[in-house]
Amino acid sequence: MSWPHIPLSADPAAFPARPPDDLSDPATIAAHDQAAFDAVGTMVDHWDRPGWTAQTRAYYWMLTFPDSPVLADLARRCQQHLAPLGLDLVPDDGLHITLTRVGSAATLPLSRLDDVISAATPLLPAAFRLRAVPLAGSRGAVRLTVAPWVPVLALHEALSEAMTPLGLTPRKPTALFRPHLSLAYNNRSRPAAPVIEAVTALRDLPPVDLHVQEVQLVELRREGPSYRWDVVKSLPLG
């Protein structure tokens, strides 16, 4: 399939702040992610998010991987090496790629979710393949690079386009979206160097390929040091 060209913008609030030069080449994207993480001096607490409580519920579009044993195996191999750092490890059934927030469960009735689903369905792109590459991170997490970015950006743009006429504006435009798949969340302020050292040792692990055939609308919550969700609707990609 010929994917649309979606230009990305540099932004200090995004990570990496500057997008990679090539959005299609896994090696280029992985090297860019790794260089950005290697330049981090201090990691921050991922869970320090004002407004999120144990009672918070919100709807998100996500990619989930409940039937990918190769991804779960790669995640566990990385997490075993990372365990001494005291990070909050993502369980097998918690592995995901966040696409975009739809809205608060407290303000969106189920009838509005039906509208969201109906608007998104005809705009969804074709199924695609991703490569999950060890290993990089951000200021608040350790994560796998996912590549190529081009089909994920097309999916993000389609979901955003579907939401806009409904008065639901994504918090992050596609131009600032940086696809990734987190394996562990940092839970306190700390020097990044020991984490970078541990991550670097895992970069020779072989990547795994993922076949993305569906996108999930979920109701997301936090349970202790992890994200959990209930799937509202899983939509097949074209």
Is the pLDDT at 110 greater than 70? The verdict is yes
- Is 60 strand, coil or helix? strand
Q: How many CB atoms lie within 10 A of CB 20?
A: 21
237: left (phi over 0), alpha (psi -120 to 50) or beta: beta
How does pLDDT run across 184-228, given as a tens digit for each residue?
999 999 999 999 999 999 999 999 999 999 999 999 999 999 999
Write down the pLDDT at residue 169. Answer: 85
DSSP strand pairing (88-89 vs 181-185): antiparallel
Split at pLDDT 50, 70, 90, the class of 1 is low
Q: What 3-state class would DSSP assign to 75? A: helix
> What is this structure's pTM?
0.96
The model's pLDDT over 17-53, given as tens digits with 9 standing for 90+, comes to 999 999 999 999 999 999 999 999 999 999 998 888 8
Query: Which of these, 11, 19, 53, 10, lies nearest to 149 by C-alpha position?
Result: 19
Q: How far is CA 226 from the centre of its chain?
A: 14
What are the tens digits of pLDDT across the range 72-97? 999 999 999 999 999 999 999 999 99
Please tell me the total number of residues recorded for the chain in this structure: 238
